[in-house]
Structure 1
Amino acid sequence: MRAVRRPEVRLPELEPYGGGELETEGDYDGLEFADADWAGQDARGARFMDCAVRRCALDETVLNRARIFDSVLSGVRGVGTDLSQVSLRDVEVSDARLGGSQLHGAVWERVVVRGGKIDFPNLRQARLRDVAFEGCVLVEADFSGAELERVTFDDCTLARMDFTGARMKDVDLRGAAAVDIARGIDRLSGAVISASQLFDLAPAFAAQIGVRVE
């Protein structure tokens, strides 16, 4: 297993954002967004570079095709956030509380997701490379058709995951606290699991190849 290349985020001295709604195709550099309510705002195609986003509300926020580089997202929360086709590179996400986020077609590279809970994220056709999930809860994450390369899940709870049609390379599930795969058990080629996880997943493997266990 090749090790995950982790982000090295070194933020410059940040300026507080002056307020106002986010803009479509907006360009944000070296700013700190704190306790902002972005609910329902449209920032599709926006670019965030060397930014900190702390405790912001993202309910129904549109960030489709946004680019977030060398930045920190801390304590963000929201339901129905549109992050489809978003690009994350060298990003640290901590204590996020998200539900029903649209992340299909997203590209993540050198990203750490630490703590928090993400319910029902749509990561179909996403590409994750050098991504570390740490101590977080993922509920019914849909990775259908996604590409995962050098991805780890340390101390994470993975509930009812869908890996249908996913492609994996150097994906390490051994550190996960709990692994529950609802669909796509046959797509774990390219992943490594522990002996105890194999025992827990045995019924799913048996069902996949048509073996009845009585």
Structure 2
Amino acid sequence: MPDVTSGRKKGDFRRPERDVSGGVQHVPMARRAAGTAGGRGTATVRAARRPELRLPPLTPYEDDGGLEPDGDYDALDFRETDLTGQDGAGARFMDCALTGCALDEASLRAARLLDTRLTGVRGVGTNLAEATLRDVELLDARLGGTQLHGAVLERVLIRGGKIDYLNLRRARLKDVVFESCVLVEPDFGGARLERVEFVDCALKQADLGAATLVDVDLRGAAPLDLSRGVDRLSGAVISPTQLLDLAPVLAAELGVRVLGEE
């Protein structure tokens, strides 16, 4: 079956993929002050860089048999497309828009999503393990059990919607923003998070076990509910209120018993 492209054969290169240091307009990084323990001095957390998408005119996607492994999809508009159970492992999506698509049990393992916007997608068991998401917006998604373990996310905005049981074990997140969304039992075990922000975001029963956090801003997470990994919060910034909420968990981690006076 021929690849679905915008008129070019598979293997053609229309333009080089964007490097980490290119393809977007770089702006000075904002720095936010955060008090340190005991009020001694100040520390800063570097703000995440958000994707700046400018999609070109898109061609409607024609479903002539479904996705193809290692397929090449360029400047296509997937609108209300049912991708349930389809195999797009290793595929490349560049300058695409996916709107209202069903992704139940879709296999996108090791796929590359570049300069792409996903709006209102839904599905259970979507496999994006070891995928690359760069300059991607995921808006108002309703997902459950999404597999992103071992994936690389760079300049990604996840805004609105609800994601249950998100698996990000051993993933690498850099310049990622979770905004106005609900994350239920997300698993960041062994992941590396650098310049990651949670803005007006509910974080419920999050697993940070063995994770590495660098410039992670958790102050906008309400609630901030950790099931594991409170000892991994070095490199993150939290609010005074969150510190009080986490006090019982921190005490348990340190082996401190808190008893009232008899």
TM over 0.5: yes
User: Matched residues in 1 for 2:57 and 2:217: separation?
Assistant: 36
SS at match of 1:177: strand
Counterpart mapping for 1:46-65 below 5 A: 46-65=91-110
User: Matched residues in 2 for 1:117 and 1:175: separation?
Assistant: 16
Q: What RMSD in Å do the two structures reach over aligned CA positions?
A: 0.6
User: Matched residues in 1 for 2:171 and 2:98: separation?
Assistant: 23
What CA deviation, in whole Å up to 9, does each residue of 1:147-172 have, x standing for no partner?
00000000000000000000010000
Unaligned runs of 5+ in 2: 1-44
Counterpart mapping for 1:45-194 below 5 A: 45-194=90-239
SS at match of 1:92: strand
Give 1:43's match in structure 2, choosing from 64, 88, 98: 88
TM-score by length of 2: 0.81
User: Matched residues in 2 for 1:146 and 1:25: separation?
Assistant: 26
Corresponding pairs, count:
214
TM-score by length of 1: 0.99
List 4+ stretches of structure 1 deviating above 2 A: none
1:7 is aligned to 2:44: no
SS at match of 2:46: coil
The one-letter amino acid paired with 1:170 is D
User: Matched residues in 2 for 1:185 and 1:3: separation?
Assistant: 22
SS at match of 1:116: strand
Residue 177 (structure 1) shift: 2.1
1:202 paired residue number: 247
User: Matched residues in 2 for 1:132 and 1:185: separation?
Assistant: 21
Residue 213 (structure 1) shift: 2.1
SS at match of 2:133: strand
SS at match of 1:151: strand
Counterpart mapping for 1:15-26 below 5 A: 15-20=59-64, 21-26=66-71
Unaligned runs of 5+ in 1: none
